Chain A
Amino acid sequence: MTADAYSPSEDDFQFVELEQQVEQISRPSLSYWQDAWIRLKKNTRALISLYIIIGLAFFTLAGPFLWTADPALQDLNQISQMPSFPKQALLVAPYERWQGVVIEDFPAVPDDYLDIIPAPKNLRLSSKATTQRVRLVWDPMHGAGGYGVYRNQHQPESINDLGLPLGTTLAGNEVSYEDRLNLEARDYYYSIVPTDGFDESDTYTTLKVLPVLTITLEEARGRGLTDNGDRVTGDKIRLEFHPFGTDYLGRDMLARLMQGARVSLFIGIVAPLLYVLFGIAYGGCAGYFGGKVDVFLMRFADFVVALPFLLFIILFKIGFGIGPGESGIMPMLIALVLLAWPATARLVRGQVLQIREQGFIEAARLLGAKNHYLILRHIIPNTMGVILVTLTFAVPAAIFTEAFLSFIGMGVAPPTPSWGSMCNEGVKTMLSHPHELIFPALFISITVLAFNLLGDGLTEALDSKMRSKE
Chain B
Amino acid sequence: MLSYTLKRLLAGVITVWFIATATFIAMHQVPGDPLMNDKAVSAEIRKNLEKKYGLDKPVTQQYFIFMGNMLTGDFGISFTQQNRKVNDIIRDHFPVSATLGIMAIFFATMGGILWGALTAVYRNRWPDILIMFLVILGISVPSFVFAALGQLLLVNINSFFGRSIIPVAGWGTLSHMIMPSLVLGLGTMALLTRLMRSSMLEVVSEDYIRTARAKGLSPLRIFYRHQLRNAILPVITVLGPQIAAITTGGFVVELVFAIPGLGRYFVQAVQQLDYTVIMGTTVFYGAFLVLMVIIVDILYGFIDPRVRLK
Chain B positions 139-190 with a Cβ under 8 Å from a chain A Cβ? 139-145, 148, 151-152, 155
Classify the secondary structure of A's interface with B: helix
Beta-carbon contact of B273 and A308 below 8 Å: no
* B265 on interface, CB distance cutoff 8 Å: no
Chain B positions 246-260 with a Cβ under 8 Å from a chain A Cβ? 248-249, 251-252, 255-256
Instruction: Pick the interface stretch among B2-10, B22-30, B74-82, B204-212.
Output: B22-30
Beta-carbon contact of A423 and B144 below 8 Å: yes
Our pick among B26, B142, B255, B290 for the contact of A403 (Cβ within 8 Å) is B142
Beta-carbon contact of A407 and B29 below 8 Å: no
Residues of chain A within 8 A of B278, CB atoms compared: 315
Instruction: Return the chain B residue nearest A444 by Cβ.
Output: B142
Beta-carbon contact of B270 and A318 below 8 Å: yes
Beta-carbon contact of A452 and B22 below 8 Å: no
Residues of chain A within 8 A of B152, CB atoms compared: 430-431
Beta-carbon contact of A410 and B140 below 8 Å: no
Report if A310-B248 is in contact (Cβ < 8 Å); known contacts: A430-B152, A431-B152, A431-B155. Answer: yes
Beta-carbon contact of A310 and B251 below 8 Å: yes
How far is the CB of A335 from the nearest CB of chain B, in Å?
9
Number of A-B residue pairs having CB atoms within 8 Å of each other in the complex: 120
Report if A308-B145 is in contact (Cβ < 8 Å); known contacts: A315-B27, A318-B30, A318-B270. Answer: no
Beta-carbon contact of B244 and A404 below 8 Å: no
Our pick among A308, A408, A449 for the contact of B285 (Cβ within 8 Å) is A308
* A448 on interface, CB distance cutoff 8 Å: yes
Chain B positions 6-41 with a Cβ under 8 Å from a chain A Cβ? 15, 18-19, 22-23, 26-27, 29-32
* B62 on interface, CB distance cutoff 8 Å: no
Residues of chain A within 8 A of B266, CB atoms compared: 311, 314
Our pick among B31, B139, B151, B267 for the contact of A410 (Cβ within 8 Å) is B267
Our pick among B137, B255, B267, B282 for the contact of A315 (Cβ within 8 Å) is B282
Question: Whole-angstrom distance between the alpha carbons of A441 and B144 in the complex?
Answer: 9
Question: Whole-angstrom distance between the alpha carbons of A344 and B57 in the complex?
Answer: 40
Our pick among A308, A409, A431 for the contact of B282 (Cβ within 8 Å) is A308
Instruction: Return the chain A residue nearest B31 by Cβ.
Output: A321
* A296 on interface, CB distance cutoff 8 Å: no
Beta-carbon contact of A449 and B248 below 8 Å: no
Question: Whole-angstrom distance between the alpha carbons of A449 and B18 in the complex?
Answer: 36
How far is the CB of B6 from the nearest CB of chain A, in Å?
18
How far is the CB of A261 from the nearest CB of chain B, in Å?
15
How far is the CB of B52 from the nearest CB of chain A, in Å?
23
Our pick among B18, B19, B142 for the contact of A441 (Cβ within 8 Å) is B142
* A319 on interface, CB distance cutoff 8 Å: yes
Beta-carbon contact of A404 and B144 below 8 Å: yes
Instruction: Return the chain A residue nearest B278 by Cβ.
Output: A315
Residues of chain A within 8 A of B252, CB atoms compared: 404, 407-408
Residues of chain A within 8 A of B289, CB atoms compared: 306, 308
Residues of chain B within 8 A of A423, CB atoms compared: 142, 144-145
How far is the CB of B152 from the nearest CB of chain A, in Å?
7
Chain A positions 290-314 with a Cβ under 8 Å from a chain B Cβ? 302-303, 306-312, 314
* A189 on interface, CB distance cutoff 8 Å: no
- Count chain B residues whose beta carbon lies closer than 8 angstroms to a beta carbon of A: 45
Report if A311-B142 is in contact (Cβ < 8 Å); known contacts: A319-B27, A319-B30, A321-B30. Answer: no
* B101 on interface, CB distance cutoff 8 Å: no
* A192 on interface, CB distance cutoff 8 Å: no
Instruction: Return the chain B residue nearest A440 by Cβ.
Output: B145
Beta-carbon contact of A409 and B271 below 8 Å: yes
* B261 on interface, CB distance cutoff 8 Å: no
How far is the CB of A146 from the nearest CB of chain B, in Å?
33
* B286 on interface, CB distance cutoff 8 Å: yes
Residues of chain A within 8 A of B30, CB atoms compared: 318-319, 321
* B136 on interface, CB distance cutoff 8 Å: yes
Instruction: Return the chain B residue nearest A399 by Cβ.
Output: B142
Our pick among A307, A410, A420, A452 for the contact of B286 (Cβ within 8 Å) is A307
Question: Whole-angstrom distance between the alpha carbons of A247 and B23 in the complex?
Answer: 38
Residues of chain B within 8 A of A441, CB atoms compared: 141-142, 145, 148
Instruction: Return the chain A residue nearest B139 by Cβ.
Output: A452
Contact code string A366-407 (vs B, CB < 8 Å = 1, else 0): 000000000000000000000000000000100010011001
Residues of chain B within 8 A of A396, CB atoms compared: 140
Residues of chain A within 8 A of B151, CB atoms compared: 430
Beta-carbon contact of B155 and A316 below 8 Å: no
* Residue in A308, A410, A448 whose Cβ sees the most chain B Cβ within 10 Å: A308
Beta-carbon contact of B267 and A408 below 8 Å: yes
* A437 on interface, CB distance cutoff 8 Å: yes
* A453 on interface, CB distance cutoff 8 Å: yes
* A320 on interface, CB distance cutoff 8 Å: yes
Instruction: Return the chain B residue nearest A317 by Cβ.
Output: B270
Question: Whole-angstrom distance between the alpha carbons of A409 and B252 in the complex?
Answer: 10
How far is the CB of A168 from the nearest CB of chain B, in Å?
29
* A153 on interface, CB distance cutoff 8 Å: no
Question: Whole-angstrom distance between the alpha carbons of A396 and B281 in the complex?
Answer: 28
Beta-carbon contact of A407 and B136 below 8 Å: no
How far is the CB of B269 from the nearest CB of chain A, in Å?
10
Question: Whole-angstrom distance between the alpha carbons of A158 and B141 in the complex?
Answer: 41
* A109 on interface, CB distance cutoff 8 Å: no
* Residue in A400, A408, A423, A449 whose Cβ sees the most chain B Cβ within 10 Å: A408
Beta-carbon contact of B142 and A407 below 8 Å: yes
Question: Whole-angstrom distance between the alpha carbons of A441 and B18 in the complex?
Answer: 37
Beta-carbon contact of B248 and A315 below 8 Å: no
Residues of chain A within 8 A of B255, CB atoms compared: 408
* A233 on interface, CB distance cutoff 8 Å: no
Residues of chain A within 8 A of B140, CB atoms compared: 396, 445-446, 448-449, 452
Beta-carbon contact of A427 and B15 below 8 Å: no
Residues of chain A within 8 A of B245, CB atoms compared: 309
Beta-carbon contact of A452 and B142 below 8 Å: no
Residues of chain A within 8 A of B26, CB atoms compared: 312, 315-316, 319
Our pick among A308, A316, A409 for the contact of B267 (Cβ within 8 Å) is A409
Question: Whole-angstrom distance between the alpha carbons of A449 and B266 in the complex?
Answer: 30
Beta-carbon contact of A320 and B29 below 8 Å: yes
Beta-carbon contact of B273 and A318 below 8 Å: yes
Contact code string B272-306 (vs A, CB < 8 Å = 1, else 0): 01000010011001100110010000000000000
Those 4 A-B pairs whose CB atoms lie nearest each other, nearest first:
A449-B140, A319-B29, A321-B31, A310-B248
B interface residues with partner A (beta carbon < 8 Å): 15, 18-19, 22-23, 26-27, 29-32, 136-137, 139-145, 148, 151-152, 155, 244-245, 248-249, 251-252, 255-256, 266-267, 270-271, 273, 278, 281-282, 285-286, 289-290, 293
Q: List 5 A-B contacts (CB under 8 A).
A: A309-B248, A310-B251, A400-B142, A408-B252, A445-B137
A interface residues with partner B (beta carbon < 8 Å): 302-303, 306-312, 314-316, 318-321, 396, 400, 403-404, 407-410, 420, 423-424, 427, 430-431, 437, 441, 444-446, 448-449, 452-453
Give 15 A-B pairs besides A306-B18, A315-B26, A408-B255 with Cβ atoms closer than 8 angstroms: A302-B15, A306-B290, A307-B19, A309-B245, A310-B248, A311-B286, A396-B140, A404-B142, A404-B251, A407-B142, A407-B252, A441-B141, A445-B137, A445-B141, A445-B145
